[in-house]
Amino acid sequence: MRSHKLRNAAKNQQCAVQILGVCNFNPETVVLAHLPSTTHGMAYKSDDIWAVDCFSSCHYVFDGRVPFEWLAGEKE
């Protein structure tokens, strides 16, 4: 499920993830970041209801585009 209302509502929100030492605290970079769920798979994002407002720097780490050493169970 894709929701333009949810995606648009992310604009100028605060980061819900705020990874220590990574977050840029810049609301101009906020996106709706999809979380792992039963509705996602290879090359398919989770539904928009399984997402959080997230600044670009945290989103890149969360998606694995930027390396980060997660503590055990931290990412989940």
Annotated catalytic residue, options 4, 34, 40, 59: 34
CA 13, distance to chain mean position in Å, is 12
Taking only Cα atoms into account, the Rg of the chain, rounded to an integer number of angstroms, comes to 12
| Residue 34 annotated as catalytic | yes
Kindly give the residue spans of alpha helices, DSSP state H, lying in 3-76. Answer: 4-9, 56-62
Q: How many CA atoms lie within 13 A of 35 on its CB side?
A: 11
Q: Which residues are catalytic?
A: 34
